[in-house]
Amino acid sequence: MSLIPGRISVVIPAYNQEEYICDALTSLTRQKLGKWELEVLVVDDASTDQTANLVLGYQHKLERLELVSLPTNSGVSAARNAGLEAVTGEFFTFLDPDDWYAPEHLATLASALEELHVDFVRTDHVRVTGTNRVLHRAPQAVRGLPLNPADDIEPIDSPSMVDYAFVWAGMYRTDLMRSVDAYFFDADLYSAEDRLWLWKLHLRTSRYAVVSYPGVFYRRGLPGSLTQVFDERQLGFIPAYARILDEVRAHRDAERHLPKAMRQFFAIVCHHEKRAKNYPPEVRLEMKQQLRKIFTTIDVHIAQQVALEMDIARRRHILSFLQVGVAK
């Protein structure tokens, strides 16, 4: 599909979002685009409420609004991919259906992409919990200058840009993302898909920038969000990190980046183990089994070094998994 210069495509995956989708779309009608042109691709992931009808009600307000309807509920990765299939913009980004943009958000990011000649840009965001709003900054102090994405995978023991796992807090150059095979999400992942996608960007592209414009508002703690559910969708982080580790191992600088990937994985393992008391017994069992399997493939020497640099509680936990893996 040919791309339209000067066009920004926004992909919105939506499932049963009748309560919030109008806020997202209204924020798009209020964009101060200047020379830029807007395309909006809403993917209805087989909603059973009024989401699709509400989206259609905005077609007279957003000239290039397209509703893509999936026949069965397929998850956020598949929904984003369906939107990406239809993208015609020179640049693209994502908006979750329960979030919204400040009026100059899209123009600011697109102008930065154009002026800095980079492959993608990332930005800060505002976290919204009820009526409370808190600025959350991307973990890179250098702003408005081209940077090497691989250089910002590290440091190992403190937050870096691969820890800033919000694909909607950025904008991306469409032709470049397609050419380096970093465009689509792994459709079978129902969680942690954004982490794998961003790792690929940092490993496969050459220039990016961080800009200081917190123009995306991110709602937290909603009843349907992944942090509030305790079913098998929680386990998506395990196959996601199996693929991240494979991706890093295949990279020319694998020795440099593998400790960071492992530390990030280990921290998330400990996070889920702490929450596991809330999971149904069958989900807890499945998580244990999947983790034991992946730990048999871990590079033990590197993993032990990484674990020894973590706090005592997490160190003991990870070393116990490593001992099981070695024993097998």
Q: What residues act catalytically?
A: 194
- What gap in Å lies between CA 176 and CA 161, rounded to an integer? 20
d(CA 293, CA 266): 14
Distance CA 27, CA 191 (A): 26
The token pair at 73 is 């509920």
34: left (phi over 0), alpha (psi -120 to 50) or beta: left
Length of the chain: 328
Q: Is 201 helix (H, G, I), strand (E, B) or coil?
A: helix
Count other Cβ atoms within 10 Å, centred on residue 222.
13
Fill in the DSSP letter of residue 19. Answer: T
222: phi then psi, degrees, rounded to nearest 5: -75, 150
Q: Which of 71, 62, 78, 54 is nearest to 10 (CA)?
A: 62
State the Cα–Cα distance between residues 241 and 142, nearest whole angstrom: 28
